[in-house]
Amino acid sequence: MKLLTSLAPLLLGGLFWVKNIPTQTRTSLPLEICDNGIDDDGDGLIDLNDTTDCNCPLAIPASLIPNPSFEERNCCPQDRSELYCAKGWIQASEPTTDFLHTCGWMGWPDLPPPLPFPDGEGCMGFRNGKVGASGGTGGSGGGGSTGGPEAGNPNWKEYAGACLLGPLKAGTAYTFEFWIGFTKSFNSPPTTIVFYGTTDCANLPFGINDETFGCPTNGPGWVELGSVPISGVMEWKKKEINIIPNQDIYAIAIGPNCEEVDLFTHTYYFFDNLVLAETEQFGYNIKATGNPCDGSFALNLLDVDTLQYQWYRDGVALVGETGATIHGIQDLEGEYQVKLVGPNSCKVTPPYTLKIPVSHTEVDTTICFDDALFFDGNYINKAGQYLAYLKTWDGCDSIVQLNLHISAAGVDTVYAQIFESESYQIGKHSYSKKGEYDEAFKSYIGCDSLVHLVLDFYDIYIPNAISPNDDGINDFFTIFSGADVKEVLSLEVYDRWGGRVFNNQDIKPNDVVVGWDGTHNGKPASTGVYVWKANIVFKDGKARELTGTVTLIK
């Protein structure tokens, strides 16, 4: 008996298969034969590309999650927090998720979703953690109040939920396959997505009237079914979670993990095309084995006795390829599909895109002005771009691009800036005072070289004491600088016990009113020495973290 022969009755019994047998009623024109690689009816369309004559639906799992791609709508979203517009979905948590759809609201302007959506015209957006009114530079984030100042909430976690179309049976293997979307890197840091389940739909929603409730397992009735780490920037990624529940599950919730998140900016992510089905139903996705650059490569499907197979590339039949596996295609790029014909049924697998990998390697090399470099069988001594076409160890094509630079004889001038407590290393010498210096040495590639160093200090001043007595002198602690500082990402002050007494982000240098005024929680702080920490972006674009002490004098 072949693998999964017992699966065929299930797949052909209506849960997975849809009866669709193309019929031909024309008698005066040639009919398109759908598996011979020929345009039989002369309409310019061959085999599966002729969807009128050769239409078979895709063999995709039937999701137990209703409305998995957020396409069915009760209404068109006009603003944030309108998940109720997506049929079948429940706002699971008190912090509200967002429904995005091309018919209306498409998300926060400064937290754009990657487009196009993986499936259709809708998706769901959510965030993990909430920034207070004084923190962060990101977007407003879904579900926040538009009123006065708000405190941050590290347990603000947004979840969407649904009652399943059928329960997950205890002891049965299921696969949860979904697309996760990322906005800008600052707002979509790496995190973990968790899939939760409950035995009763009445457990949706959870944490009613409690925005600090956190994840569903902080209350009764919920279990964690599985999780997966995620990361990305302005893109969609396909992920899956495989589970075997130990009890029947009737409702689910999806969103971030239970870890509290203390943020300086708003985080945001997106969901689309959430397919939950028995793992067996994912068996008709084409899988690849071997190396696509040699004879070991093959594409495979599960082999079921009751099914007939026909392979296609770019919709055109590969005549004679009628087994569950196809070999000898390592040089034939394209989209591969298989038509599966069972008793009174026809399905076509989702496409598998075969792209032969080509290794691109770019090498930057500098030689002395009187040297030559041997590359791809030739000696070259002129600056420029050169290409070599090679084979990798596994037989794949490899393109090596050489960017050759010539180090000219003469003087290289280096401009550098340091803090007064630092030194700058060049050659075997280090310099700690601003000025101009000449250093003769051989470069790292062995060329004779003279370096003229112009060294200066950063134009930045950070006070070591403040006296907040409203006399207009040293009343505030902040960062003072000229053009060397581009922005101050954060400035924090701590007392001697490590307690934070001041915190502000994205402040402008020299603006004293955004600095520390010597108070804590609205009351004058005690006289003494405090530790400060600042994250500063300089004009070279690099962020540096500086620390020091400041004495509070009264």
- Under DSSP, is residue 47 helix (H, G, I), strand (E, B) or coil? helix
- In whole angstroms, how far apart are CA 484 and each of 344, 431, 456, 543? 75, 20, 11, 12
Residue 153, both tokens: 């909430």
Residue pair 273/69 in contact (Cβ under 8 Å)? The answer is yes
Predicted TM-score (pTM) of the model is: 0.52
CB within 8 A of 420, min separation 6: which ones? Answer: 457
Does residue 532 contact residue 548 with C-beta atoms inside 8 Å? Answer: yes
Contact 256, 194 (CB under 8 A): yes
Say if residue 108's pLDDT is above 80.
Answer: yes
Given pLDDT bands bounded at 50, 70 and 90, which one contains residue 223? very high
> Do residues 32 and 40 lie in contact, with contact meaning Cβ atoms separated by under 8 Å?
yes
Report the CATH fold assignment for 83-281: Jelly Rolls (2.60.120)
For β-strands 249-256 and 528-538, DSSP reports them as unpaired
**73 secondary structure, DSSP code:** B
Single-letter residue type at 37: G
DSSP state letters, 492-543:
EEE-TTS-EEEEEEEEPTT-GGGSB-SEETTEEPPSEEEEEEEEEEETTS-E
Q: How many CB atoms lie within 10 A of CB 497?
A: 5
Q: What is the DSSP string of 201-254?
A: GGG-S-STT-TT--SGGGSTTEEEEEEEEE--SSSEEEEEEEE--SS-EEEEEE
Binned at pLDDT 50, 70 and 90, residue 150 comes out as low
Average pLDDT of the segment spanning 335-356: 89
Confidence of residue 19 (pLDDT cuts 50, 70, 90): very low
Q: What type of residue sits at position 321?
A: E
Place of tokens 């290409």: 387
Looking at residue 513, its pLDDT comes to: 85
User: Closest by alpha carbon to 232, among 181, 300, 304?
Assistant: 181
Count the Cβ atoms, other than its own, within 10 Å of residue 374.
8
Q: Taking CA 263 as the corner, what is the angle to CA 502 and CA 133, rounded to the nearest 5 degrees?
A: 65
- pLDDT score for 304: 84
> Mean pLDDT, the chain, as a whole number?
86
Whole-angstrom distance, CA of residue 538 vs CA of residue 542: 6
The pLDDT value given to residue 264: 76
- Check if 1-61+285-355 and 83-281 are the same fold: no
Contact, 117 vs 272, CB < 8 A?
yes
Would you identify the CATH topology of the domain 1-61+285-355?
Immunoglobulin-like (2.60.40)
Question: pLDDT tens digit string along 261-308?
Answer: 877 788 999 999 999 999 988 878 888 888 888 878 999 998 888 889
Which two structure tokens, joined as six digits, stand for 417? Answer: 């800036």
In angstroms, rounded to a whole number, what is the distance separating the alpha carbons of residues 174 and 243?
5
N-terminal to C-terminal alpha carbon distance within the chain: 89
Give me the residue spans of the domains in the chain: 1-61+285-355, 83-281, 359-407, 411-457, 460-552
Residue 271: strand pairing partners: 124, 180
Q: How many CB atoms lie within 10 A of CB 275?
A: 21
Return the SS3 of 269.
strand
Q: Which tokens go with 35?
A: 């598996």
Helix H or strand E segment including 436: strand 435-442
**For residues 383 and 372, is the Cβ–Cβ distance under 8 A?**
no
Is residue 474 within 8 Å of residue 551, measured between CB atoms? no
CA-CA distance, 436 to 428, in Å (whole number)? Answer: 16
**Confidence class of residue 443 from pLDDT cuts 50, 70 and 90?**
low
| Dist. CA 41–CA 507, nearest whole Å | 70
Say if residue 450's pLDDT is above 90. no
Instruction: Average the pLDDT over 410-422 and give the result.
Output: 80
Tell me how far apart the alpha carbons of residues 490 and 488 are, in angstroms, rounded to a whole number. Answer: 6
Task: Give all strands (DSSP E) within 257-295, no chain letters.
Answer: 269-278, 287-289
- State both tokens at 281: 């139903």
Residue type, position 164, single letter:
L
> Alpha-carbon distance 113 to 180, whole Å?
11
Indicate the CATH number for domain 460-552: 2.60.40
Q: What is the pLDDT of residue 508?
A: 87
Main-chain dihedrals φ then ψ at residue 380, nearest 5 degrees: -125, 140
Q: Which of 14-23, 95-104, 298-307, 533-542 shows the lowest per-residue confidence on average (mean pLDDT)?
A: 14-23
Work out the pLDDT band at 26, boundaries 50, 70, 90.
very low
Res 317 pLDDT > 90? yes
